[in-house]
Amino acid sequence: MAPKRELTLTKPNEMSPGQRAYEAKRAAKAGLSLEKWLAAKERDRLAEEKAKAKALEAAQPPKPPGFFRRLLERAQKPLGS
C-alpha cells in the first residue's frame, strides 16, 4: 500500500524560482507582500484542515446509550409493558 501523500506548502526559500515568481505575482495581484501572502495561504490551509476534521467528527454516528442510560430509560417506563 502506498503511503498517503499530503500537499504541504514550502517555505519561500525552499520554492523553485518558478513557484516563487508565481506566488509573487498572485501576492501582488492581492496587494500583499510575498511573506504576508504565504502566511495568509498557510492560515487558510490550516483553517480548511480544521473544518474538515470538525466535519468528519460531526459525521460520525452517535454513540449508543450506555448501561446506566438504558437502566434509567427502563425505570421511566410503566411496569407490565
Per the domain annotation, does 2 fall within a domain?
no
Quote the number of domains for the chain: 1
With a CB cutoff of 8 Å and minimum separation 6, the contacts of 9 are 38, 41, 42, 45
Per the domain annotation, does 5 fall within a domain?
no
Q: Can you give the pLDDT at residue 25?
A: 94
Per the domain annotation, does 44 fall within a domain?
yes
The alpha-helical segments, DSSP class H, found in the chain are: 17-30, 34-59, 67-76
Per the domain annotation, does 54 fall within a domain?
yes
Per the domain annotation, does 3 fall within a domain?
no
With a CB cutoff of 8 Å and minimum separation 6, the contacts of 42 are 9
Q: Please answer whether residues 15 and 23 qualify as being in contact, where contact means their C-beta atoms are separated by less than 8 angstroms.
A: yes
Q: Can you give the pLDDT at residue 9?
A: 56
Per the domain annotation, does 23 fall within a domain?
yes
Per the domain annotation, does 50 fall within a domain?
yes
Per the domain annotation, does 19 fall within a domain?
yes
Cell triple for 29: 495581484
**pLDDT of the chain, 81 residues: tens digit per residue:** 555 655 555 555 688 999 999 999 999 999 999 999 999 999 999 999 999 988 888 777 878 889 999 889 888 888 875
Domain span holding position 55: 12-76
Q: Can you give the pLDDT at residue 16?
A: 92
Q: Can you give the pLDDT at residue 5?
A: 58
